[in-house]
Structure 1
Amino acid sequence: MIRTLLPAYAVARETTGELTGPELFGAERRQAAGALPLRLAEYGTVRRLARGCLAELGHPPVPLLRGADGAPRWPAGTVGSLTHCRGYRAAAVARTRDADGLGIDAEPRAPLPPRVLDQVASAAERAHLAELAAGGSDVPWCRLLFSAKEAYYKVWYPAMRCWLGFDDAEVVLAHGRHSGGFVVRPVPGGARRVRRDDAAFDPAATGFPALRGRWAAGTGTVVTVIAAPAGSLPRPGQAGRTATGRPRWAQ
């Protein structure tokens, strides 16, 4: 699904099962040492997919390690994104001459628990979801909203190098039966922030833009994709802040 949502300059691979070869690099095995078998399988599969994407762009196989913040480190001259959920794994890569960032996310095709929705969606977003649901589709709009924010964060973090809370971004989804578009934009607020040094942080004042994305709903999975064209994002570290904590999207 993800391959069909990306622009032509991006390369993507996806699978509904685990890939067992080729062998992981030693540095990757050491990084994943002690992981539970399921987590280790996910870790290996998305890296094998990513190396396949890089090969299509002419890059030799290299270790794809997580940094201290949990985000994957991509070879010079490339940007990419990884995702996995129950029954689905995917990777996407592009050259930096074509894209400033890529964000992909996959989630189970099921509604979010109400307590989770309350944590990730504002009152305005919940009203928007209710309008979408009234359109008669069986798409789990709340899950798509969550996924769209995850994809946005994967583009935000490499450029800004700082944490973004769920209430720091707002999503507007376009109605569709099986696929459609969406927009995510940074907003002031951060009402759930608890760190004193984050209290005055206004994502909307960073210069980071609203970004358009695309979504699709499959049999058991929903996916979202954001591709930021080259020249569209602030330079890395422009926000002058460091990350706090590990993002959910650490792969």
Structure 2
Amino acid sequence: MIEALLPPTVVAVEEFEDVPGEAPFPGEEDLIDKAVEGRRREFITARRCARAALRAFGHPDAPIRPGPKREPRWPAGMTGSITHCAGYRAAAVARTVDASLLGIDAEPNGPLPDGVALSITVPGEPEMLDRLARSHPDVQWGRLLFSAKESVYKAWFPVTRRWLGFEEARLAIDPDRGTFAATLLVDGSRVDGGAPLSVLHGRFVADRGLLVTAVVAS
């Protein structure tokens, strides 16, 4: 499902079920030693997806340890993103020469908890969500906006090393093309010397009771 959102230079692997009783990969046990069973399963499966994607680029299986903000640390010259929600786990990776920005996210196609929409929207977005709900009621657009902003953050952080709040990006969603554009409302200077970020473009799909979003850029 997620491959439809990504260019050929990005390799993605997804799973809809866990392997019962699967053990953590050696070197990652401590990362989930205190986690509840559901969290353990999604972590193990998502990390397995990431290793499978890295193998496509010739990287041997190895632990994927977290960075200081708990972001996955990828092999030199690689970037990637991992996501998991109920009934879905996925990872996408690419060479940084092909995609220096890469973020994916998945959410159930269900309503946001009460009050969450107010905390993740900026002026103009609530009205957009209302219009989308009237014209395309099969999609929970508040949840889609949440997922899209998660993908934007995951793409943003590795090249800026800064937090990006939900209130620091304004989304415009095209429901017919399955695309979105995130206008950044803060300084987009990058630590890697690239051009400052101002607008990030992404794609989404709603299928199998899920909402999946992706942002890819150089």
> Is this a same-fold pair by TM over 0.5?
yes
Alignment partners' CA distance in 2, 1:205 and 1:42: 34
In the superposition, the TM-score normalised over structure 1's length comes to: 0.80
2:206 equivalent to 1:217: yes
**1:19 Cα deviation (Å)?**
3.6
- What TM-score do you get using the length of structure 2 for normalisation? 0.92
Equivalent residue of 1:26, what SS?
coil
The residue number in structure 2 matching 1:64 is: 64
Question: In the TM superposition, what whole-angstrom CA distance separates every residue of 1:19-76 from its partner, at most 9, and x where no partner exists?
Answer: 4698533320022211111111111111100000001111111110112211111111
Deviation at 1:171, TM superposition (A): 0.7
User: Aligned in 2, Cα 1:34/1:136: closer, same or farther, shift over 3 Å?
Assistant: closer
Unaligned runs of 5+ in 2: 191-195
**In 1: Cα distance, 2:26 partner to 2:10 partner:** 28
Tell me, yes or no, if the aligned pair for 1:20 and 1:45 is still in contact at 8 Å: no
AA in 2 matched with 1:228: A
What's the % identity of the aligned pairs?
Answer: 44
User: For residues 55 and 19 of structure 1, do their structure 2 counterparts lie closer, same or farther at Cα, with a shift above 3 Å needed?
Assistant: farther
RMSD: 1.7
Distance in 2 separating the partners of 1:21 and 1:34: 16
Corresponding position of 1:184: 182
Native 8 Å contact 1:214 1:226 kept in 2: yes
Q: Which stretches in structure 1 are left out of the alignment for 5+ residues?
A: 188-201, 230-251
Q: Which residue of 2 aligns with 1:40?
A: 40
How far off its partner does 1:137 sit? 3.6
Q: Distance in 1 between matches of 2:85 and 2:2?
A: 13
Aligned to 2:187: 203
Q: Which amino acid aligns with 2:45?
A: T
TM-superposed CA distance for 1:205, in Å, is 6.9
CA apart distance, 1:204:
5.5
Residue of structure 2 in register with 1:244 after alignment: none
Describe the superposition over 1:56-101 as per-residue Cα deviations: whole angstroms up to 9, x where unpaired: 1111111101122111111111100000001111000001121102
| CA distances 1:146-193 after superposition (whole Å, capped 9, x unpaired) | 1110000001111111111110011110023xx611101211xxxxxx
| Farther-moved stretch of structure 1 (2-11 vs 14-23) | 14-23
Residues 102, 217 of structure 2: 8 Å contact kept = yes
Contact 2:160 2:188 in 1 (8 A): no
Show the counterpart of 1:73: 73
**Structure 1 residue 4 displacement after superposition:** 1.3
What is the alpha-carbon distance in structure 2 between the residues aligned to residue 205 and residue 79 of structure 1? Answer: 19
Letter in 2 for 1:122: V
Structure 1 stretch displaced more, 24-33 or 60-69: 24-33
Distance in 2 between the 1:28 and 1:146 partners? 29
Greater relative CO (CA pairs within 8 A, separation 6+):
1
CA 1:138–1:64: 2 relative to 1, 3 Å: same
Determine if contact 1:10/1:93 at 8 Å carries over to the other structure.
Answer: yes
